[in-house]
Structure 1
Amino acid sequence: MKFAQLSVRSLLLSALVFSVSGCNAEADPLDQLQPAKTMAEYRAMSEQLYKLDQAAVKAEAKAAGLDKPPKPKKAKRFGFDAQKAATDSDFFTTPEGRQIAENLLTFQTPSGGWSKRTDMGVPRPQGYQYGTEKSYVPTFDNLATSTQFWVMANACNSLGEARYCDSATRALKYILIAQYPNGGWPQTFPLRGKYHDYITYNDTAITSLLAIVAAAANDDARLKFVPQALREQAQDSLQRALEMVAATQVEVQGKPAIWGAQHDAETFAPSAARAFEPVALATSESADLVLFLMSLEQPPAHIQKSIDDAKDWFEKHRIDGLRYRRDGKLPSLVPEEDADPLWARFYDIDSDRPIFGDRDGKVYFDVDEVSEERRRGYAWYTEQPYKVIKQYRKWQE
Structure 2
Amino acid sequence: MINNKLFIVFIFAACSLGASAQHTITTERFNDGIHHWNLVHEHRDYPRYTEAQYEKIADNLIAYQNPDGGWMKNIDWLGILDTDSVKAGLDEDHLRSTLDNRNTFPQIEYLADVYLVAKAPKYKAAALKGLEYLLTTQKENGGWRGWDVDAITYNDDVTTGALELFRNILQGDTSFSWLDKGILDRIRKGYEKGLDLTLRCQIVQDGVKAAWAQQYDNVTLQPVKARTFELPGISADESCGVVFLLMGIDNPSQEVIDAVEGAVAWMERVKIQGIRVERVPLSKDKIINHEYPYDNVVVEDPNAEPIWARFYEVSDNTPFMCTRQGQKVWKLADVNAERRTGYDWYGYWPKKVLAAYPAWQKKIKK
| TM-score normalised by the chain length of structure 2 | 0.78
Give distance in 1, aligned partners of 2:182 and 2:335: 51
Conserved 8 A contact 1:210-1:238: yes
Q: CA 1:317 to 1:343, structure 2 compared with 1: closer, same or farther past 3 Å? A: same
Q: CA 1:108 to 1:258, structure 2 compared with 1: closer, same or farther past 3 Å? A: same
Give distance in 2, aligned partners of 1:238 and 1:130: 36
> Which of the residues 318, 343, 356 maps onto 2:321?
356
Q: CA 1:220 to 1:97, structure 2 compared with 1: closer, same or farther past 3 Å? A: closer
Matches for 1:1-397 after TM superposition, within 5 Å: 75-76=37-38, 91=52, 96-120=53-77, 121=79, 122-125=81-84, 129=87, 132-135=90-93, 136-188=95-147, 195-328=148-281, 329-397=294-362
SS of 1:205's equivalent in the other structure is: helix
SS of 2:186's equivalent in the other structure is: helix
Conserved 8 A contact 2:211-2:234: yes
Q: Which residue of 2 aligns with 1:26?
A: none
Give distance in 1, aligned partners of 2:219 and 2:225: 15
**Sequence identity of aligned pairs in percent?**
29
SS of 2:277's equivalent in the other structure is: strand
Q: Which has the higher helix share?
A: 1
SS of 1:141's equivalent in the other structure is: coil
| Superimposed CA distance per residue, residues 199-225 of structure 1 (whole angstroms, 9 cap, x where no aligned partner) | 111112222212211122222112112
Shift of 1:101: 1.6
Shift of 1:392: 1.2
Conserved 8 A contact 2:280-2:297: no
Conserved 8 A contact 1:259-1:281: yes
Q: Which residue of 1 aligns with 2:286?
A: none
Conserved 8 A contact 1:325-1:331: yes
SS of 1:334's equivalent in the other structure is: strand
Conserved 8 A contact 1:219-1:231: no
Q: CA 1:218 to 1:322, structure 2 compared with 1: closer, same or farther past 3 Å? A: same
Shift of 1:132: 2.4
Give distance in 1, aligned partners of 2:245 and 2:113: 21
Shift of 1:123: 4.8
Range moving further from structure 2, 144-153 or 130-139: 130-139
Q: What is the letter of the counterpart of residue 310 of structure 1?
A: A
Unaligned runs of 5+ in 2: 1-35, 282-293
Conserved 8 A contact 2:298-2:332: no
| TM-score normalised by the chain length of structure 1 | 0.72
| Superimposed CA distance per residue, residues 256-275 of structure 1 (whole angstroms, 9 cap, x where no aligned partner) | 21111111122211001111
Give distance in 1, aligned partners of 2:71 and 2:256: 31
Report the number of matched residues: 308
Q: What is the letter of the counterpart of residue 245 of structure 1?
A: T
Q: CA 1:203 to 1:221, structure 2 compared with 1: closer, same or farther past 3 Å? A: same
Q: CA 1:202 to 1:255, structure 2 compared with 1: closer, same or farther past 3 Å? A: same
Range moving further from structure 2, 128-137 or 162-171: 128-137
Conserved 8 A contact 1:106-1:123: no
Give distance in 2, aligned partners of 1:340 and 1:235: 41
Cα RMSD (Å) = 2.6
Shift of 1:75: 2.9
SS of 2:92's equivalent in the other structure is: coil
Q: CA 1:392 to 1:219, structure 2 compared with 1: closer, same or farther past 3 Å? A: same
Give distance in 2, aligned partners of 1:357 and 1:231: 42
Give distance in 1, aligned partners of 2:251 and 2:204: 25
Structure 1 ranges of 4+ moved more than 4 A? 77-85, 128-131
SS of 2:149's equivalent in the other structure is: helix
Q: What is the letter of the counterpart of residue 73 of structure 2?
A: K
Q: Which residue of 2 aligns with 1:47?
A: none
Shift of 1:366: 1.7
Q: What is the letter of the counterpart of residue 76 of structure 1?
A: N
Q: CA 1:218 to 1:82, structure 2 compared with 1: closer, same or farther past 3 Å? A: farther
Give distance in 1, aligned partners of 2:183 and 2:88: 26
Unaligned runs of 5+ in 1: 1-73, 86-90, 189-194
